[in-house]
Amino acid sequence: MTQNTTAYASIRAATTALALLVGAAAPQIWPSESRAEMNMPGMKDKGKAAKTASGTGTVFAVNAGGRSVTLNHAPMPEIDWPAMKMEFPVAAEVDLTKIKTGDKVQFTLTGSGNNYTVQSITPSR
């Protein structure tokens, strides 16, 4: 074998070993369960019937392009949720330009289980 052929074989073997290691670690790095399927401590799944709940909280982050908002919300007894910070998808008709990080807000969610979408959000006065 020439020196180049030996170097190529070594690189190929290292690349293969790295790919196997990454593949073995993938289930731990990228969990398969979605946000809607996550078991979030303190949150009880009240069944699959759609519900509406109102809440108050503070905007932690706004992702207008991704149509989501992260809220630090107060307890929501209507759906038996404790106070927590969580990201929510936002309905297309909600105008996210009216809120910014740090705003105290009132909001309405609809959904079921642990999968809710913001249907309205307004700064508190």
- Same domain as 101, residue 69: yes
Q: Name the domain count of the chain.
A: 2
Residue 10 lies in a domain: yes
Residue 39 lies in a domain: no
How high is the mean pLDDT of the chain? 79
- Same domain as 49, residue 17: no
What residues make up the domain containing 13? 1-32
- pLDDT tens string 55-78: 999 999 999 999 999 999 999 999
- Same domain as 96, residue 53: yes
Which pLDDT value is given to residue 125? 78
Quote the pTM value.
0.63
Q: How confident is the model at residue 34 (pLDDT cuts 50, 70, 90)?
A: very low
CATH number of the domain that residue 73 is part of: 2.40.50.320
DSSP string, the chain: --HHHHHHHHHHHHHHHHHHHHHHHHHHHS-S--GGG---TT-----SS-EEEEEEEEEEEEETTTTEEEEEE--BGGGTB-SEEEEEEB-TTS-GGG--TT-EEEEEEEEETTEEEEEEEEE--
Is pLDDT of 31 > 80? no
